A = this chain, B = another copy of it.
């Protein structure tokens, strides 16, 4: 099993995480929180830490931090220096940056980390973000075509300084300059001459991640990426998705065993399932409980927002409930309601969270990971704590040892680079044709 961890805005998946008594309220601007998370993830021998990026204030600042405030490059640099083995995956959107910038920044991070970086290739469609960078109401229908050009240009730039070209011979030969040549990349959306101004890292170049959804994201994952951050709403979805994706990878002439999919999972750990639910109910209260109750009404097709929180939904009303067909998480919410859970408890189970929630004792949470893993959802998971660093600590200290004991997780790193952690060979630029 392969695991990465994620800490958005220095906190967990729950909107109210910054209010949790033992979490740092100002984590979103406190780089030390990220450094501690990276060191925790490394202590647990995880594959890496994953940094998302949403450069805009697209939340209500009255009650929560922006989703990604401190620049990811700044944080990645600090994490690279504060760890020795952990992989570090940074998102840089192909819509917002030029290939030379991406190639240089990622290679710099890869050198500082001695070969532990991944580039999460995404496009940007969010208007709030685009309007921070470009004028007017935008037509970004070209974003996928541009993404392919940026990806190709970045890899060509990386390959433009081959391994072995740097000599550092004090007799007078700095580099074999003949090997370091312009690429003269001319696309429809981006152009860059090159060459890059940095040699390859110990792993060659960063591992290619993607987190994109939709048909383009899927095609990019199947044909070009080494790893993917996936957001399955349910176990059934995750199984079907990996079945299809692995077939598409094979169809593209690539080996699905060398592909790492990380299914995003939220975790809530306590000394009993009941306490985990109470913890989550308290976190719900610290977030935006009114909008959650509204959304639950939408999922069930009945008005529950104004009902008493600590009672089950009345049977007469529940009879009219139907899982909303447009949200695959709705049947889970419906099942919980039918089992007689109170509205507070239904919500505490997390059916309306962005990620599926594994909750309960460390054993129960470990069981859930094992169940999904053995059901065939692909190699891995991205673990997102509920409140923040405290919750990540609980996962690392309490759940990871169980998974290790079961032989599901590594207990030591066998390699030093992220490519080695993922079983990938050295690569710099495009691999030679076989």
Contacts and interface: CB of A to CB of B under 8 A. Distances in A.
A177 B61 CA distance: 5
Nearest to A23: B170
A374 interface: no
Nearest to A199: B29
Interface of A (DSSP majority class): loop
- Chain A interface residue count: which class? 35 or more
Interface string A118-134: 00000000001001111
Given A55-B104, A112-B78, A199-B29, A175 B70 contact: no
A198 B70 contact: yes
A192 B65 contact: no
Interface string A164-195: 00101010111111001000001000011111
A69 interface: yes
Contact of A175 (B61, B81, B194, B197): B61
A18 interface: yes
Tally of this chain's copies: 2
A405 interface: no
A26 B168 CA distance: 7
A384 B362 CA distance: 57
Interface in A79-120: 81, 96-98, 100-101, 104-105, 108-109, 111-112
A342 B81 CA distance: 49
A252 to B, nearest CB: 31
> What 9 pairs across the A-B complex have the smallest Cβ distances?
A135-B191, A71-B108, A61-B177, A77-B77, A66-B197, A131-B193, A25-B168, A100-B132, A61-B175
